Structure formats: C-alpha cells, structure tokens
C-alpha cells in the first residue's frame, strides 16, 4: 500500500464503522472534496469518507454544525412522513470517540457517511430520471421550509451572488497570472457582455418580490441518489452549501447540469445545447410540490434562474482556468476551459431559447 493509500485507511480506521475497513476506492464525481468509498470486512455496509477541502470551506466546524442540524431536521420530517430516515437522509457516522471529524496530522478534516445500496448517482439525465430528481429536490426544499435559516452559517459567503462572481471573474482576468486570457478572447468578450444581467435575482430579493429561503445551492443531478429499480429520488446529498438562498438558485443549477444535452465537460460544443423537453420536465416536477410555496415573480423568474446559474458556473470555471485551476479539481490540463466553454455555450443557446422557456413556465403559473 502506498503512503497516500495508508493515509486514507488510517483516517477510515478512526470512524465507528461496522467491521474493520479493508479497502477503498476513490470517487471522482465531485469537484471540491476528496471522496472515497470505504469497504469493510463485512461486505455491508460500506461508507463514504471525505476529506473536506478547507481551502474552500474555511470553517469546517460550522459547516458540519450546519449539516448536523439540517440532517436532524430532515430525519424528523422523514420519520413523520413515514419514510426511512437512515436511507432518505444522509447518515453521519461519528468517529470512535464521538466526534464529527477526525483531524489528521496535517490538520485535514475527515468525515464519514453511510453509503447506500441500490441507488444511482447520475451525470446525465433522461426525462424519467430528471423528473424524479425534480420531485426530490422540490421535496427537500419543502422539508426545510420551516428550518431556522438564521442558525445556518454561510459556508461560502456570496456563493450565488452573481454580481460578486462577475467581479471575481474580472479580477482574475485583470490579474491573468499565467497569461491564459489570450487563449480565449471571444469567450471572455461573451462573458463580459452579460454584466447587466447579473443582478436579476439580487434586485428582486432586495425588493421582496423573491424571498430568501433555506436552499441546497448545488442541485446538480449527481447530488441526488435515485433508486436503482424505480428511479425514485432516495436521498439528497452534498449538503455543504445548504444555506439561505433563492429558490431560483436550486432550480437554475439543476437545469444547468441536467437539461443540457451533454455532460458538463463535453468539448464538442455542437453537442451542447439546452434540451427544452428536459427543461419542461424539470419545471413540471419541481412545481408539483412547490408551486403553492412560490411567488409569481419566482415562478416567472425560473428561466432567468437557469440562465444565471449557468452563466455563473461558466465564469467561475473560466476564472479558475485563468487563475491556474486552484478551485475546481481537474483531471486533465485545460479541463476548466472546456467546462467554461461548455457552460457559456449553454448560455448562448438560452439567449435564443429564453422566450420559449418563459412560455413553458407560464403554462405552469
Ligand atoms: C462544485 O462539489 P460539487 O462537485 O458537487 C461546486 C458547485 C458547482 C459544481 C460544478 C462548493 O460542486 O458550486 O456548481 O462544482 N461546489 C462548490 O459542477 O463550489
Ligand atoms: Mg457533489
């Protein structure tokens, strides 16, 4: 076993797992934390072990306090609804000494969750799976509607503040430490041209037309586990960014990822466009439960939510490329640029399709 492998197994041995950990596999789905599947002597259960990225989550104790509170609340709600809290809510596994974290010699923060069997974590949607994911995220939002938002710490301040994301992008462009800006002048021009749109949600939050609620803020398809047999949503995962936000953030981020005709890092841009059928499917599922809880401005704003979350993600990838890939994990050179081009291609497509998207949403008013 290599030193790096021993490091993971050493962390795993600190947790209160059933049986001794015997092996692990790295999970490459997320862009932020280091995630591993841990297998023990007894085949079942297995576990998720994560080393939290503390360059990004600077206050891991508060982060875990958020997650703990949210999970306890979700467990109560799920039990009241007759569901199975151990399956439908992320189950936190403590260390053998009862802590939420094991802290390694380097000061790294490790946490663990129960791994579920019989579930799918998808990176591409079909109509059926996308619909089920919309129901699941909609339900998650409803379950948290009465959660005391003021107890939640903002784990990443201004996370979906698109104006502040735009300013970060401009700062990265001006610094351009690696001279990469010259590789993509048209893309940069396109990104800069959308400046006026950035405050759409913030303006409406300020005016009270839209409300600040407890939101997930990272509702991509692979952040909800679906039942392998029925396709039904089982459990919403990746709760690191649960904090006050607009419902448009959650809707928009799901569309950005799931209503695209291609994966987030598809390099052939001819393959990348917004699939309006998937868009409508998601609107339908999302509003099933949520419609009564939303204001008219929020419902009518859904297409712009999709637009801005896609745009924001595009400029975040681009800013990270310009800065030298320090935020999002990359698996090959230039991947952040590919991701940025991909997301901004979706934005260009939405520039054309917004009227159609608005028409779809009006049907559900
Ligand atoms: C990151 O952690 P993960 O991979 O689910 C990012 C999201 C981005 C997403 C793009 C904390 O999500 O904001 O939309 O990548 N999470 C954080 O795929 O920055
Ligand atoms: Mg994730």
The pLDDT tens digits for 213-240 are 999 999 999 999 999 999 999 999 999 9
- pLDDT at residue 347 in the model: 99
- pLDDT at residue 78 in the model: 98
Establish whether the linkage from the previous residue to 45 is cis, with ω within 30° of 0. yes
Choose among 136, 125, 134: nearest CA to 274.
125
Beta-bridge partner residues of 245: 213
Q: Are 191 and 166 in contact (CB under 8 A)?
A: no
Q: Which atom of ligand 1 sits closest to the CA of residue 31?
A: 4
Distance 236 CA to ligand 1 centre (A): 14
Distance 363 CA to ligand 2 centre (A): 32
- pLDDT at residue 43 in the model: 83
Quick check: helix, strand or coil at residue 136?
A: helix
Q: Which atom of ligand 1 sits closest to the CA of residue 56?
A: 11
Distance 17 CA to ligand 1 centre (A): 28
Ligand nearest to the CA of 31: 1
Per-residue pLDDT reduced to its tens digit, 16-70: 999 999 999 999 989 999 999 999 998 899 999 999 999 999 999 999 999 999 9
Ligand nearest to the CA of 160: 1
* Probe residue for ligand 1, chosen from 32, 158, 329 as the CB with the greatest number of ligand atoms within 8 Å: 32
Q: How far out from the chain centre does Cα 110 lie? A: 20
Distance 359 CA to ligand 1 centre (A): 29
Q: Are 47 and 70 in contact (CB under 8 A)?
A: no
Choose among 177, 237, 248, 244: nearest CA to 209.
248
| Pairing assessment for the beta strands 47-51 and 34-40 based on DSSP bridges | antiparallel
Burial of 109 (0-12, 13-18, 19+ CB in 10 A): buried
Distance 133 CA to ligand 2 centre (A): 14
* pTM of structure: 0.97
| Pairing assessment for the beta strands 102-103 and 109-114 based on DSSP bridges | antiparallel
- pLDDT at residue 1 in the model: 87
Residues 239, 48: Cα–Cα separation, whole Å: 14
- Domains in the chain (CATH in brackets) are 3-58+92-117 (3.30.200), 127-362 (3.90.1200.10)
Quick check: helix, strand or coil at residue 21?
A: strand
Ligand nearest to the CA of 121: 2
What the block records as the tokens of 49 is 């072990």
Distance 31 CA to ligand 1 centre (A): 6
Q: Which atom of ligand 1 sits closest to the CA of residue 29?
A: 4
Ligand 1: residue whose CA is nearest its atom 18: 31
Residues with CB under 6 A from ligand 1: 30-32, 56, 218, 220, 223, 238, 240-241, 264, 313
Which parts of the chain sit beneath pLDDT 50?
none
* Probe residue for ligand 1, chosen from 28, 30, 31 as the CB with the greatest number of ligand atoms within 8 Å: 31
């Amino acid at each position: 076993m290599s030193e790096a492998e021993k490091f993971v197994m050493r962390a795993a041995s600190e947790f209160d797992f059933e049986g001794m950990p015997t092996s692990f596999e790295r999970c490459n789905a997320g862009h932020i934390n280091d995630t591993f599947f841990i297998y023990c002597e007894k085949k079942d259960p297995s576990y998720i072990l994560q080393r939290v990225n503390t360059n990004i989550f600077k206050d891991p104790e508060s982060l875990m306090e958020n997650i703990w509170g949210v999970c306890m609340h979700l467990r109560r709600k799920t039990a009241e609804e007759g569901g199975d809290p151990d399956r439908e809510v992320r189950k936190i596994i403590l260390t053998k000494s009862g802590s939420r974290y094991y802290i390694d010699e380097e000061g790294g923060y490790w946490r663990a969750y129960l791994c579920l069997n019989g579930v799918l974590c998808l990176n591409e949607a079909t109509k059926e799976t996308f619909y089920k994911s919309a129901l699941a995220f909609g339900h998650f939002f409803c379950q948290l509607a009465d959660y005391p938002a003021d107890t939640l710490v903002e784990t990443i301040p201004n996370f979906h503040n698109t104006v502040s994301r735009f300013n970060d992008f401009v700062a990265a462009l001006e610094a351009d430490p690696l001279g990469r800006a010259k590789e993509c002048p048209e893309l940069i021009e396109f990104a800069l041209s959308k400046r006026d749109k950035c405050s759409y949600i913030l303006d409406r939050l300020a005016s009270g037309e839209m409300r600040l609620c407890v939101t997930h803020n990272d509702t991509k398809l692979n952040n909800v586990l679906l039942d392998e047999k029925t396709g039904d949503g089982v459990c919403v995962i990746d709760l690191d960014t649960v904090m006050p936000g607009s419902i448009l953030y959650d809707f928009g981020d799901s569309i950005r990822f799931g209503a695209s005709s291609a994966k987030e890092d598809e390099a052939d841009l001819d393959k990348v466009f917004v699939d309006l059928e998937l868009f409508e499917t998601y609107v339908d599922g999302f509003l099933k439960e949520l419609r009564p809880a939303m204001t008219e401005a929020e419902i009518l704003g859904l297409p712009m939510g999709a637009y801005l979350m896609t745009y924001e993600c595009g400029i975040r990838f681009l800013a990270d490329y310009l800065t030298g890939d320090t935020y999002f994990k990359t698996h090959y050179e230039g991947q952040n640029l590919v991701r940025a081009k991909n997301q901004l291609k979706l934005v260009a497509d939405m520039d054309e399709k917004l009227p159609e998207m608005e028409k779809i949403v009006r049907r559900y008013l």
